[in-house]
Amino acid sequence: MQAVTQATLEFVKQYWAPLVCGLTIVAVLPLIVGYVVLVERKIMADMQARLGPMRVGPHGLLQPIADAVKLLIKEDIIPENADKLVFWLAPVLSVGAALLAIAGLAIGPAFQIAKDINVGLLFVVGVSAMGIFGIVLGGWASNSHYSLIGALRSSAQLVSYETAAGMALVCGLLFAGTLNITSIVQAQYDQGIWFGLLEPIAFFTYLVASIAETNRAPFDLPEAESELVAGYMTEFSGFRWSLYFLAEYTNMIVVASVATTLFLGGWLRPFPKTTWLNFIDFLPPILITGVGVYCLMRTPKQPARVQQIFMLAVAGMCFAAAVVLAAPVLLRTPFVNPSLAAAAKPFYEGIHGGFWFIFKVSAYIYFFMWLRFTLPRYRFDQLMRLGWHFLIPLSIINVLLIGIAMIAGQYFHLTGWSLLLITIPASVIALIIALFILATEQKSEPQKASGAAPDSYA
Amino acid sequence: MLDQVIFYLFAAIAVISAILTVTRRNVVHSAIFLITALLATAGIFLQLRAEFLFIVQIILYVGGIMVLFVFVIMLVNLDVAVRQLQFARQKWVALLISLALAAQVGLMLWSTGKMPGQGVPVLAAAPVDKLPLNSEAVAKSLFETYLLPFEIASVLLLVAMIGAVVMAKKRI
């Protein structure tokens, strides 16, 4: 009897727990993406000195739900001459790949759907790159010139920037020595320094390449509305269009998580090993409490009763979150019984790990948005020149020099922060060589007649 | 039990989509089925706990078939291609060769059951926790045991790449 129970438990743990986790994420992710879109619109409004969505719910907080309902009940149009099957398949493929990539990510030391994949990082990167098929097939199947040009641009962009991104990842993996996501973060804990600081050039390359891969501004050539209507999604409407949208934002979350894991220390807090900086653990609860207090202060100023109640609810949730965040830290202070502190350790790692991970991912995505509202769009030939003439040489030289620096570091027995002594000069030299290459390329390029139109296929 | 079900599922998908790759008239549909066949093969790799092969299969073919797509879209006129003859007039030769191949494979499988020490060696499955780590094992065999062949192969690829650039570029 006991053996049967044991076996059942094992089966549930092995097969059903990841399944339930995955289903939860698939169910909740559209909501998260909806709110990321709302946050993006609010940030855009803030940067352009206006209010953004304000009508649906207090401060427009129910806008994503209204948008989702609108998208779901919109008419679903399939063009007469479209390839019906491929047209149906393409958005599904795009969103499926993005959601599958989420499975490999680790949000905390214990929270990962596909636990301990040996090739974790490659899995996330490779599977999320599959999403490009959705874009290309969708653009082809629509049987429209705008869509086709968008799809071709998208594939060219992916092939060009994937190389640079891959080289940047190689750079980070040199120091990690493993592809397993949990071990990568553990390696950063052992070094006591984030890999993003050790190799700033690789981080920068990945940042630029990841913007290009997710087709975000300033590299949103595949959907450039001033030239191509909406690029590959011109012919898509209603629910199919929203699937593409979901895939794009999920991909943003995926690349932000990859960058966080490899370059920003994953779920580790800043300075994870320095014990005298342990007070950093108190920052998250204080921050959340501050948000709650701010909400309480703003409550009397709200014009409508509903909005006041809503503000109070938000403040209450903030205080609850602050208590949850503070409890494990307080239990770990030296005044508490050590056995209790040991019991609180997994809770501390899980809760604070989750907080820092989500915090860093949010910061990365905020940076994406900031760039989108600041920089104008590139022209296609400029995009290709940036990729092939600058980023790819830079990342290849950087891999070479960082590798040499790592060997030298082992030779001089440098670890942790003192590794900076050797990796920073290597990065600077790599940057100088790449800029030199760029300069010679531009000098040898014959000046084209200024009136000639740039080749849109490039 | 579950393992077998998953294996036969993947195998069936791979075989059926490989057949469809050849028989579809629309080239883009062929390419889609080619991806499906390769992904199903990747699934079988994963089931054999060859995670590295699984993900390399996916990454390489994503890039590879991406380029194939672009070629199809830019070079093949689909309306003309649909009206053209689909197969070359060598079906009897092809049939003969594939029958010979099938007979060979069948003989191997048959002799495995009948004659001990002949045919496909059936290896006992290693316990999961004894397996060496995947990417590490691949790296060891590539960079220790087979370093020289590996380097020769990469030099060969580099030469081909440089040759392609030299031939494609009008002015160097």
| Number of separate domains in chain A | 3
Residue A105 lies in a domain: yes
Same domain, A96 and A220: yes
Helices (H), ranges, A116-237: 120-129, 131-141, 145-176, 181-191, 195-198, 200-213, 225-228
Choose the closest CB to B73 out of A129, A133, A140. A140
B67 vs A252: which has the higher pLDDT:
A252
Domain boundary among A373, A399, A420: A373
Domain boundary among A31, A50, A73: A73
Residue A210 lies in a domain: yes
* Mean pLDDT to the nearest integer, B11-37: 86
Average pLDDT over chain A, rounded to an integer: 81
- Chain B residue numbers with beta carbons less than 8 Å from the beta carbon of A133 are 35, 62, 65-66
Same domain, A343 and A420: no
Q: Is the pLDDT of residue B170 over 60?
A: yes
CB pairs under 8 A between A and B: 64
A82 in contact with chain B, both atoms CB, cutoff 8 A = no
pLDDT band at B100 (very low <50, low <70, confident <90, very high): very high
Q: Is the pLDDT of residue A450 over 60?
A: no
Q: Is the pLDDT of residue A452 over 70?
A: no
Q: Which of A13-22, B74-83, B153-162 is predicted with the least confidence, judged by mean pLDDT? A: B74-83
Q: Which residue has the tokens 């001033």?
A: A226
- Best residue in B66, B135, B158 for a mutation probing chain A (most A CBs within 10 Å): B66
Residue B69 sits in a domain whose CATH number is 1.20.120.1200
Specify the pLDDT at position A449.
46
B64 in contact with chain A, both atoms CB, cutoff 8 A = no
| Number of separate domains in chain B | 3
Distance CA A55, CA A39 (A): 15
For the ranges A176-190, A412-426, B124-138, the one whose mean pLDDT is highest: A176-190
Distance CA B112, CA B121 (A): 7
Same domain, A298 and A426: no
Domain limits at B161?
Answer: 132-172
- Chain B residue numbers with beta carbons less than 8 Å from the beta carbon of A83 are 26, 28
Please list the residues that pair with A112 across neighbouring strands: A106
Same domain, A288 and A247: no
Domain boundary among A357, A373, A389: A373
Specify the pLDDT at position B105.
87
Residue A369 lies in a domain: yes
Residue A153 lies in a domain: yes
Could you tell me if A118 and B134 are in contact, meaning their C-beta atoms sit under 8 angstroms apart? Answer: yes
Residue A355 lies in a domain: yes
* Mean pLDDT to the nearest integer, B92-99: 89
Specify the pLDDT at position A297.
83
Is the ipTM here above 0.85? Answer: no
pLDDT band at A451 (very low <50, low <70, confident <90, very high): very low
For the ranges A5-19, A265-279, A353-367, the one whose mean pLDDT is highest: A353-367
| Burial bucket for residue A205 (CB in 10 Å: 0-12, 13-18, 19+) | buried
B73 in contact with chain A, both atoms CB, cutoff 8 A = yes
Q: Which of A93-102, A246-255, A319-328 is predicted with the least confidence, judged by mean pLDDT? A: A319-328
**Closest-approach residue (CA) in chain B for A163:** B63
Residue A449 lies in a domain: no
Would the CB atoms of A118 and B51 count as touching at under 8 Å?
Answer: yes
Same domain, B51 and B23: yes
Q: Is the pLDDT of residue A447 over 60?
A: no
Specify the pLDDT at position A293.
86
Domain limits at A297?
Answer: 275-373
Specify the pLDDT at position B123.
67
Same domain, B44 and B28: yes
Same domain, A185 and A211: yes
Could you tell me if A109 and A266 are in contact, meaning their C-beta atoms sit under 8 angstroms apart? Answer: no
Query: What is the distance, to the nearest Å, from the Cα of residue A355 to the centroid of all Cα atoms in its chain?
Result: 15
Same domain, A249 and A167: yes
Distance CA A458, CA A383 (A): 10
Same domain, A134 and A254: yes
Closest CA to A193 of A205, A203, A185: A185
Same domain, A165 and A301: no
Residue A338 lies in a domain: yes
Same domain, A361 and A386: no
A396 in contact with chain B, both atoms CB, cutoff 8 A = no
Residue A246 lies in a domain: yes
A329 vs A435: which has the higher pLDDT:
A435
Same domain, B31 and B97: no
* Mean pLDDT to the nearest integer, A34-50: 88
Q: Is the pLDDT of residue A292 over 80?
A: yes
**Closest-approach residue (CA) in chain A for B28:** A137
